[in-house]
Structure 1
Amino acid sequence: MTEEVAQPLTYIPEVILKRRKTNEELALRRKEQLEQRKFKSQQNKQEYIKKPEDFVKEYRYREMDLVHMRHRYPNLKNVRDLIYKKGFAKIDKKKVPLTDNNLIEQAMGQHDVICIEDIVHEISTIGPHFKEVTGFLWPFVLNKPEAGLKGSKTVFKDGGDAGDRGDKINELISKMN
C-alpha cells in the first residue's frame, strides 16, 4: 500500500478572493450595460426615422398648446358674467344690447351661433368661429376695480398694473365686473 502524503492546502488570501468576486460582478454589470446601450441605440435608430404624419401631429399639438396657453386667461364663469352683464353686439356699426336671441341668430346664424350661450361657448372654448364671434361683440366697458389700480405703467410681473396677468386675470375680471 502506498501511503499518501498529506499535502498542505493551498491558501488563497481573502483579499484576492474578494477582488475576484468584485471583478466578476463588475464584468457582469458592464456586460449588461453594453447590452442595454446596444438595445437603446437600435431603438433610437428606429425612432430617428420619423414619418411625415408624426411631424404634422407633433407640430399641431405644439400649436394647439400655444393657442391654449395664450387664451387661458378668463374661466367660463367670468366669460358668462361678462357677456350677460356687459355684452353688446355690433350690428350695422351700432352698439346693440344682447337682449334677444333673434338678433344673434340673424347676425351670426350662418356660423351656427344662435343664442348667448353659443357665444359664451365659442369664446370660452376658442371654437372654430371665435374670430367671427369676437368681431360681432362690442368691446366691454368695465368698471374700475374696487381697490383701484396703482396707475403705474410697470409690468404686472414687476408689481405694476400693465401686461399679462396669466392665471390672475380671473381675479381682475371679477373685481371689475
Structure 2
Amino acid sequence: IDVMTSTNVGLMNFIGLEGNEFTNGPSLIRIKCSSNCFVSFFENKFYNCGSRVVKFHSAGYTPKSLIVRDNIQLGGSMFDQLQTGVSKATGTSYAEFTSNYVASITPGTAGTATILIDDGVTPWLSQYENIRVAGNMFKDAINVIQCSGSAVSGIVSLNKLWFGGNSSTNSTATCQYPSANKANTDMPQNITI
C-alpha cells in the first residue's frame, strides 16, 4: 500500500505527516522525493505498526532535509533501510530524529521499537552530512537504532551520526558505522550571543 504516494505520482518537494494516529498499521508509507525534498514527521502516534513502516521510493531521492520530531512510537520499526535505486539529494543533506518517545508495546518488557534501520546495501549515512539522534526518550526498546549493514560504500569523513542527550531505560542500540563517523555527543554549538 502506498499511503503517501504511488509509482504514478511525480517526485515530491514538500512532504509532511503531522498529527496522525496509526494503530496496527499502516504496513507501508512509501515516499517519492525530488532531489530537493523536505520531509517532516511531527506529533504522530504509531501504535504497534508493522515492521519497517517508512520507505523511500526507489525511483526517487532521499530527503534533503528529514525532520522526525515529537512522535510517539510503541513497538515496530519506523524508517527502513534505503531501497536499491534511491539517489542522494542534491548538495548538503541533514536528518534529525529528536524529542521522540520510542518504547516497546508492553511497559517493563523489552521489545522491538526501532526508529531507524540501516541494514541495506546503501547506508543512510552516505546520504547525509549529519544524522542526529538526540533528546529522545527510549523505554524498553530493543535496537532503537539498528545500523548493522556491512556496506560502507560512499561514507566519507563528512558523514557523521550524532547520538546523544537521549534518555533510555532498558533499551539497546546497534551501530556498526566506522568509529570516525559516529559520536556519542551532540553537535557542538558554534553560535555565541
> What interval of TM-score do these two structures reach, taking the shorter chain for normalisation?
under 0.3
- Tell which has more relative contact order, 1 or 2 (C-alpha 8 A, sep 6+): 1
TM-score (norm 2): 0.16
TM-score (norm 1): 0.17
Which structure has the bigger radius of gyration?
A: 1
If each structure's helix is expressed as a fraction of its own residues, which one has the higher value? 1
If each structure's strand is expressed as a fraction of its own residues, which one has the higher value? 2
